A and B are shown apart, each in its own frame.
Chain A
Amino acid sequence: MTNSPKAIKNFPFPFKSDAYMYSVNIQPVTNEALFDVDEHYHGEIEERDRILQADKSGRYFAFPHMKDAQWDALEIIMNDLADYYPESFTLTQEGDRWTWLNKKLNLEDTFTFLDETTLPYEPFEYISRQVQEDIILLDQREGDLFLDAGILTFPASWSLDFDAGMRFEEFHGPVPRAHELGVFKKAKAFLMRVQIGKPWTRLNWTMTVNRRLDTSLETYADWGSDRNTVTLDNCGEKVHLRVEVQRFVRLPRSNGLMFPIHTYLISLEELVTNPDWTRRLYQVLKNLPPDLVEYKGLSLYHHTVITWLSQVVDEPELAEFHS
C-alpha cells in the first residue's frame, strides 16, 4: 500500500518550526469531519478486522459503566460520516428506529437506539469497526480522566491492555520531559473543559520502519527488529514518518470524552517530493534531543535518516527551487 499523489498532498505534515518540542498545540475543529475516510479505507478496515479476529483481548474493551458513552460515540460517528461523506454513509432516524447504511462495506442495519440487543456487536465495537481511527473513550470523574474503553489496532508502540482503566497522567507515564514541564496537568485541565459541539485537534508524530500500522507492544516481536534493517540504500522506501491526527470530542450524554486517532504513514521517498517538508524534517531530526530520539524509538536509524536526508536536501536543483 502506498500513497497516491493526492494522499501525499493532503498528508498532515506536523512540523511548524525547525526545532520540535512538546506543547499542547491544540486547535479547534470547525466545519471539518472528525473522522477521515480516505483511500486506505478498505485496506485498514480489513486489517482491523483481521487483528480483532486473531485476538480481540488487548485490542478492544469497554468497561460496564461506559454504556452511555458507547451510544454517544456511535451517534457522533454516524452523524459525522453521514454529514461529510453522504455518498457512502446514510443515517435514517425515525424516533428510536435508526437505519445505518454503509455503502463502502455494503452493510445495512436497522436497530433501536439505546437498545444494544438490536445490534450485532455492542455499539462502540459496531461503529469503530467501520472507521479507520483508533478510538479511546475517557470517563470523567473525581477531577480526572480514566481510559475506560477503547479500540486500538494501529498504536504507535503502546498497549491498550496495559493502559486500561488508568488515569490520564498514568497512561502518559512513559513520555519523557513532559511531566516535568507540567504539560499533562495542563492538558488534562483543558480536556476536562472541552465543551459539547466544540471539538479540538492536535498532531503527534513518530517514525515507523515499513508501512506498518500495527506497531503495538503485543506484536513487538513481529516489527521490533525491522529497525535494524535500515540502510542508506533502502531508507527512502523503508522509513516512514508516522503522524497521528488526534481529536478530542465531548460525549454529550455520558459527559465522557472521545479521543479518535487517525494514523497516516508517508515514506521518506514520498515525503521528499515536497522540498519544504524535506528541509523541515531534516532540521527537526538534527535538533531532536537524545531522550526524545530514544522515546520515539528512532535510536537505531536516526543517524541513517539524517544522512539520507542531507543528501536529498543538498541537491542543487532543490536549493535553486528555494532561492
Chain B
Amino acid sequence: MNEQVVRVVEIEKLTPRIKRFRLVSVNGKLASFSPGSHLAVEIPLAKRQYNSYSLCSSPYQTNFYDLAVLLSENSRGGSEYLHQITTGTELKLGLPKNSFALNSLARKYILIAGGIGITPLISMLFVITRHQIPFELHYAAKSPTECAFYRFLQQYGDRVKFYFSERGNRLNPKQILQEQPLGTHVYLCVPQSLREDCRGAASALGYPKSAVHRELFGAVKTNKFKPFTAVLARSEQRIDVPQDKTLLEALEAAGIKANYSCRAGGCGACEVKVIEGEINHLDSYYSPAEKAEQNRILTCISRAKSKQLVIDL
C-alpha cells in the first residue's frame, strides 16, 4: 500500500488527547476525496499495521489533507506512534474510501458527533455550506477543552450545538430528530449506545432507514489468513495456498490455466466448482443464499475454512 506518500507539515494539539496533522504530498498530487471519507495510514512499527482515519479537511482543498488522531487507550501502537512524530515525518497512505457519503438530494442534514467522531463530519461541513443546504450539528464531548474543533465550529453560530457531559448536558435524540422537514438525512458518528438511541428515535419518528447513516470503517486488510491446500479433482494435484497468496495466485504459480478478470471478487470470471471442503467467501459477487450453498468459489479472493478444498479443475 504505497499509494500516496505525504509529509507532515503542521501538528496542532486540538485537545489534550487529540492532535491534528496537516499532510502534503511528497510524490505528486493528493487524491481528491468526498466528504465522509477515510483512508489507511501505514504505521511503520516492527509489526507493520494500517490504521484508518477520517479526513477532516475540505474536499475542495487540493494541497493538503488534515487528519485528527485520538491517543487511544487500548492502542495497538498506531495512535501512540502518530502522537510522538514531529513535522517533517513522511507517512504512507492508501487512497480515500467512503462508506459514509452524503446523500446529494437531502433537504437538510443533521450531523451528530460524539468525541473524536466529529472528524468525518468536519469534511461534510465544507460541502454542505458550499451548496447552502440547511444543517444542524449536535456534538457531545466531555468539556470544551476535550472538544476538538471547538473554536473552528464557532463560525457556524447556532447551527452547532455542544453537549458537555461535565456540565451535565445530554443530547436528546428524540428532541433533535422530531419536527424536521421531509428529506432530512441523519449522520451518526457516535459511540454505540448513543447510536442505537438515535436510530431507535429516528425509526419511531418515521425516518426511512436509508435516511439514517452511520460511519462504518472499511476493514483495512489484515492479511491474517490461514494457509490451506487446494486439491484439483481431475489431476489429483495438491496445491498449497500460503497465507499471503490467493488461491488464484497459487494456481497460476503452479502453471494451472485459470480464468480471471477483476481479481477483486466482484465479477465472477474466476468461479470454480467446489466438490469438498468449507469455503470462506470473501467476495462481493455471490448473494448470501449462493454463499450458503458452499459449492462455488471465486479463486481471486475467497479461501478455505477447512484445511483443504477439492475443486473441479
Which A residues form the contact surface with B (CB < 8 A)? 23-28, 65-68, 72, 75, 114, 139-143, 182, 185-186, 189-190, 193, 195-198, 200, 252-255
Contacts and interface: CB of A to CB of B under 8 A. Distances in A.
Nearest to A66: B104
B269 A23 contact: yes
Contact of B34 (A186, A198, A255): A255
Nearest to A79: B29
A252 B96 contact: yes
A254 B104 contact: yes
B33 A193 contact: no
A75 B33 CA distance: 13
Contacts of A189: 266, 284-285
Nearest to A251: B34
A184 to B, nearest CB: 13
A27 B262 contact: yes
B203 interface: no
27 contacts: A23-B268, A25-B269, A26-B261, A27-B261, A28-B263, A68-B127, A139-B105, A140-B101, A141-B103, A141-B105, A142-B103, A143-B210, A186-B267, A189-B284, A189-B285, A190-B262, A190-B266, A190-B267, A190-B284, A193-B266, A196-B96, A200-B262, A252-B32, A252-B34, A253-B59, A255-B98, A255-B102
A26 B262 contact: yes
A196 B33 contact: yes
Given A190-B284, A254-B104, A197 B34 contact: no
Contacts of B262: 24, 26-28, 190, 200
Contacts of B33: 196, 252-253
Contacts of B127: 68
Given A65-B105, A68-B127, 20 more contacts: A23-B269, A25-B267, A26-B266, A27-B262, A139-B105, A141-B101, A141-B103, A142-B103, A186-B268, A190-B262, A190-B266, A190-B285, A195-B95, A195-B97, A196-B95, A196-B96, A197-B95, A200-B262, A252-B31, A253-B60
A75 B60 CA distance: 12
A186 B262 CA distance: 13
B104 A65 contact: yes
A253 B32 CA distance: 6
A67 B131 contact: yes
Nearest to B100: A255
B244 interface: no
B196 interface: no
B3 interface: yes
Nearest to A254: B34
Contacts of A68: 104, 127
Interface residues of B, number: 29
A13 to B, nearest CB: 17
A182 B285 CA distance: 10
Contacts of A186: 266-268, 285
Contacts of B105: 65, 139, 141
A197 B97 CA distance: 11
Contacts of B60: 114, 253
Nearest to B63: A95
Contacts of A143: 210
A96 to B, nearest CB: 9
A255 B38 CA distance: 13
A254 to B, nearest CB: 6
Contacts of A196: 31-33, 95-97
Contacts of A197: 3, 31, 95
Given A196-B31, A252-B33, A24 B267 contact: yes
A182 B34 CA distance: 30
B227 to A, nearest CB: 27
B104 A139 contact: yes
A255 B96 CA distance: 11
Contacts of B267: 23-26, 186, 190
Interface in B131-145: 131
A195 B97 CA distance: 7
A114 B58 CA distance: 13
A24 B286 CA distance: 13
Nearest to B29: A79
Nearest to B105: A65
Nearest 3 Cβ contacts at the A-B interface: A252-B32, A255-B34, A190-B266
A140 to B, nearest CB: 7
With most chain B CB atoms within 10 A of its CB, the pick from A190, A193, A196 is A196
Interface in B222-274: 261-263, 266-269
A195 B37 CA distance: 12
With most chain B CB atoms within 10 A of its CB, the pick from A75, A142, A193, A253 is A253
Contacts of A66: 104
Given A24-B268, A253-B33, A193 B104 contact: no
Contact of A25 (B32, B103, B261): B261
A149 B154 CA distance: 37
Contacts of A252: 31-34, 96
Contacts of A254: 34, 104
Nearest to A28: B262
A75 B3 CA distance: 20
Contacts of B284: 189-190, 193
Contacts of A193: 266, 284
Nearest to B211: A142
Contacts of B102: 255
A200 B267 CA distance: 11
A253 B103 CA distance: 13
A323 B16 CA distance: 79
Contacts of B32: 72, 75, 196, 252-253
A240 B267 CA distance: 29
Contacts of A182: 287
With most chain B CB atoms within 10 A of its CB, the pick from A114, A193, A252 is A252
